[in-house]
Structure 1
Amino acid sequence: MRKFVFCLSVFFTVLLLSGCNHLTEYSISEQQVNKALQKHDNYQKDIGVNGLANAHIVLSNLQAAIGREEPNKVMLSGSADIRLQSLFGDKHAVVNLKMKAQPVFDPQQSAIYLRDLQITDIQVTPEKLHDVVSALTPLLNQSLKHYFEENPAYVLSADHSTGEALAKKLAKGLEVRPGELVISLTP
């Protein structure tokens, strides 16, 4: 009888602890991150190369793939509308960008930032402007890197849910899992 009671108590303890996982962590889905990234649509920047060429860039359609292509990284894709002005005339290009970044949680801001952003691939339309856009890519990369280090990709808010309110108060760290960012609530 004692064995039965002991086994039953162990069973209920395991059941209780497995059901309390939501009390030790808070998950932010790709969909939630993508919705938050919509606030960064229409990011605009003017960049130039010593008066030879200037480009007005508008970034839109940002989408995140969390931990799927590379462990512990967020892969971003988006479109950049680029208006080029140079000594050779005005040109227009649409660039599909792929970027990767390291998500980092800042407990003081209750926010997730994308650090060390790198452009990993560009697809330029029309193709004949690929070399020109490639020459501007390091400047664009630096600009986007700075932007996402200053502007959070996701901010925890007590208004979203009780779980998120709890995460805002108790967040200890961040883990990247395929399709989600997980904020641990215990050390």
Structure 2
Amino acid sequence: MKKAFPGLVALIFSLLITGCNQLTQYTISEQEVNQALAKHNNYEKDIGVAGLVNAHILLTNLSSQIGREEPGKVTLSGDAKINVTSLFGPQQADMQLKMKAQPVYDAQQGAIFLRDLEIVDAQVQPEKMAGIIKSLTPYLNQSLKSYFNQKPAYVLSDDRSKAEALAKKFAKGLKVEPGQLIIPFTQ
């Protein structure tokens, strides 16, 4: 009995700590963020320089890595299909994009936005299209930045769970940890 008592105390203590965390914060996993980002799949936009080059872009397969590559940041990856019309006629290209953004919690909307999004890498196929696509990348970057500044990546709901409803009501900011976003209820 004497040997079992310290183990029992440790188990009860760890359960209390876990329970307290659930009362003081709400955690959103990378998987939950990726499920929410799926709603942003098929983002379409026309960009370009009038009279020189225009492109229709379709963004798909968005996914996130939270706080893994850079502390406090979300890294997004996605694919883009691009139909370009230029002086050289119609052409097509595929891009693999890597972007970084700052997650920010907006208490009024109960939503997490990805602010200051920036394309940090873009791989283009076929390679012969790289020059044209590189000239369009600043326009694409601005378009995506504007989109994610206006459209939340994740919206807290009163309906999914009691803990999420509490987070929506009492959230005091946002912390980024590897693989998860944490919304504390107190400061």
Report the TM-score, using the length of structure 2 for normalisation.
0.91
3-state SS of paired residue (1:173) = coil
Name 1:6's counterpart in structure 2: none
How far is 1:41 from its partner? Answer: 0.5
3-state SS of paired residue (2:133) = helix
How far is 1:14 from its partner? Answer: 7.9
3-state SS of paired residue (1:172) = coil
1:126 aligns with 2:126: yes
1:159 aligns with 2:150: no
1:34 aligns with 2:34: yes
Report the TM-score, using the length of structure 1 for normalisation.
0.91
Name 1:117's counterpart in structure 2: 117
How far is 1:19 from its partner? Answer: 2.9
After superposition, the C-alpha distances for 1:76-119 in whole angstroms (9 at most, x for unaligned) are 00001100001111000010000000000000000000001000
Q: State the distance in 1 between where 2:30 and 2:145 align.
A: 20
Name 1:76's counterpart in structure 2: 76
How far is 1:15 from its partner? Answer: 6.0
Q: State the distance in 2 between where 1:160 and 1:98 align.
A: 30
Name 1:105's counterpart in structure 2: 105
Q: State the distance in 2 between where 1:31 and 1:44 align.
A: 24
Name 1:3's counterpart in structure 2: none
After superposition, the C-alpha distances for 1:147-168 in whole angstroms (9 at most, x for unaligned) are 0000000000011111111101
Letter in 2 for 1:104: V
The count of residues paired between Structure 1 and Structure 2 equals 178
Name stretches of at least 5 consecutive residues in structure 2 with no aligned partner.
Answer: 1-8
Letter in 1 for 2:186: T
After superposition, the C-alpha distances for 1:35-91 in whole angstroms (9 at most, x for unaligned) are 000000010000111310100001010000000000000000000110000111100
Q: State the distance in 1 between where 2:15 and 2:59 align.
A: 47
Q: State the distance in 2 between where 1:14 and 1:126 align.
A: 55
Name 1:175's counterpart in structure 2: 175
1:86 aligns with 2:86: yes
Q: State the distance in 1 between where 2:13 and 2:30 align.
A: 32
Q: Percent identity?
A: 62
Name 2:46's counterpart in structure 1: 46
Q: State the distance in 2 between where 1:44 and 1:157 align.
A: 27
